Structure 1
């Protein structure tokens, strides 16, 4: 079933990419969100062509990484605490959820210890939801420039989690605003950054996110079915 689900999601991604309202040409990366799913399910997804895995929690990711290793590209999509930075840099190819200079400095420090340049995205809290992490838009430019000065971090773009609403058209303007912000960030003058990725959209809204410019989507339920708690 996982194979069929991935094929269906990839078809939807292709259709959404053809409806893009933006000038984004970058191919969409499908990140399979594997929180609370087993290693055997993940292996099934990998066998079906999944190349990118998204995990929310360090401990769970660490256990899975020990069994799967570098067979896939690992993305951290959940909030990272500074005391978990050491484990994070050992596992993840891309940390999508950086939202403060404090966590950026912690990642930089740990990456330096293993001589790794850690790719990151900065999470933006566009509509100032109290329940979500992320930097507010007015604070974003200063944070990006501070991060750019850290020699073991490489800033690759932005991440956004839209509010969970019934009428999906309500989030379209937010995705559009994020795309415009992404393009502005690409025009900023950086020393080390390579702004390439806009990660937004999950199972319920990834099609609209792609239409509005996302080139990374994070999909769990549509691939693996509902999570077993």
Structure 2
């Protein structure tokens, strides 16, 4: 079933859109099944769970950290993580820089913008993102590369609101890209809204339940 779900989703995706299979709480066997079906990019929201899976699964998998980031745990993934989605403070960037340097790596990051109206959503204000990218301290960092932006829309059935939130992030991305040559990625859209996100310019979507089935919250 995982293979069929992947094929169905991928058949809808433009070439420029990367599919991140959100494998959080899912067993190794499910991830291996998706891998065998050709999927190579997987997203986790807990660093230690991702590190365990990294040890047990093929090494050509690209692991994305998509959850809220605890700075004190960055060290557990610094040697292998491919992209960190949810960077929502300059202090977090500094910690990623520090840990990446220890492993002689450059770690790709996305700055998480706050676009949702829900209090529970993390993220930087647009003005804070601009201030970080313009700061001299940021420009001195050598072991991180900010390759774009990430945002999560409000959890609502109001598609007009969701579209407005996605469009606001697309506009910010378009504004910043000319002066940020590494910008290649606009990560927005999940199982419930990825089609709308792609309409609004998303180049990376994060899909879990539509691939693997309902999440197991008791793992």
User: TM-score of the superposition, structure 1-length normalised?
Assistant: 0.89
Q: Indicate if the aligned counterparts of 2:115 and 2:166 stay in contact, CA closer than 8 A.
A: no
Task: Quote the Cα distance in structure 1 between the aligned partners of 2:37 and 2:68.
Answer: 28
What does residue 10 of structure 1 align with?
A: 10
What does residue 52 of structure 2 align with?
A: 63
Shift of 1:143: 1.6
Q: Per the alignment, do residues 168 and 79 of structure 1 end up closer, same or farther by CA in structure 2, a change over 3 Å counting?
A: same
Structure 1 runs not aligned, ≥5 long: 15-25
User: Whose relative contact order is higher, 1 or 2, with alpha carbons under 8 Å and at least 6 apart?
Assistant: 1
What does residue 146 of structure 2 align with?
A: 155
Q: Per the alignment, do residues 100 and 128 of structure 1 end up closer, same or farther by CA in structure 2, a change over 3 Å counting?
A: farther
Give the superposed CA RMSD.
Answer: 1.4
Task: Quote the Cα distance in structure 1 between the aligned partners of 2:7 and 2:145.
Answer: 32
Q: Indicate if the aligned counterparts of 2:40 and 2:62 stay in contact, CA closer than 8 A.
A: yes
Q: Indicate whether 1:78 and 2:67 are aligned.
A: yes
Shift of 1:177: 1.3
Across the two proteins, how many residue pairs are aligned to each other? 215
Q: Indicate whether 1:200 and 2:188 are aligned.
A: yes
Q: Indicate if the aligned counterparts of 1:73 and 1:93 stay in contact, CA closer than 8 A.
A: yes
Map 1:1-229; keep pairs closer than 5 Å: 1-14=1-14, 27-127=16-116, 129-146=118-135, 147-188=138-179, 190=180, 194-229=182-217
Q: Indicate if the aligned counterparts of 2:42 and 2:63 stay in contact, CA closer than 8 A.
A: yes
User: TM-score of the superposition, structure 2-length normalised?
Assistant: 0.93
Q: Per the alignment, do residues 67 and 134 of structure 1 end up closer, same or farther by CA in structure 2, a change over 3 Å counting?
A: same
Task: Quote the Cα distance in structure 2 between the aligned partners of 1:41 and 1:71.
Answer: 17
Task: Quote the Cα distance in structure 1 between the aligned partners of 2:9 and 2:127.
Answer: 35
